[in-house]
Amino acid sequence: MKIYTRTGDDGTTSIRGGKRITKYHTKLEAYGTVDELISWIGLLRSCDENPQRKEFLIYVQGQLMSVAALLAHDYSNKDIDPVFPDSNCIKRVEEEIDSMESILPPLNSFILPGGSTCSSFCHIARCVCRRAERNVLRLGTEEEVPAVITGFLNRLSDYLFVLSRMVNKESGNEDVRWKS
């Protein structure tokens, strides 16, 4: 199968099930931003040296692929079943957050993104994750969006923030606190 089809040259794309929508459709903004997040998580995976976290990030990418497929699903096509993320995905993210927070010093102020390169990538991924969440919520004003998606994205942005702090700690970089 060729990667190019030329069918999108008119400014439309097909969603899961075959229906065509404009490339600026709210649905495409939502799952397109999730796709962008999947790539940023891949970049994080390439710079993180911790093997357990690499495995967890692979899990996260898989869940995000399911999220994107669900967001791209054409519910009017009854011939194809929607793909849902793992029902425990939010709990798993929370467990990872709790594990890292048990090691990190408490945080009582805002911090500035930065430190190590990998930590900076975490912050960019966090911002993309929050944008994905906003786009999904916007889509939710037009069609039903399963709560697991918004819950997962919300918790994932928290995870990426805590991961940025953990990566900085492991690389000998301290959090730079914002002074108002």
pTM, two decimals, is 0.93
In a domain, 1, yes or no: no
In a domain, 157, yes or no: yes
* pLDDT value, residue 9: 76
In a domain, 167, yes or no: yes
CATH number for position 117: 1.20.1200.10
In a domain, 16, yes or no: no
* pLDDT value, residue 51: 96
- What total number of domains does the chain contain? 1
CA atoms of 73 and 17, how far apart (whole Å): 7
* Residue, of 65 and 84, whose pLDDT is higher: 65
* Residue, of 65 and 11, whose pLDDT is higher: 65
In a domain, 31, yes or no: yes
The domain in which residue 165 lies consists of 22-101+111-175
Residue 130 pLDDT grade (very low, low, confident, very high; cuts 50, 70, 90): very high
Residue 142 pLDDT grade (very low, low, confident, very high; cuts 50, 70, 90): very high
CA atoms of 173 and 167, how far apart (whole Å): 8
In a domain, 129, yes or no: yes
C-beta separation of 41 from 57 below 8 A: yes
* pLDDT value, residue 8: 76
In a domain, 125, yes or no: yes
In a domain, 150, yes or no: yes
CA atoms of 176 and 8, how far apart (whole Å): 45
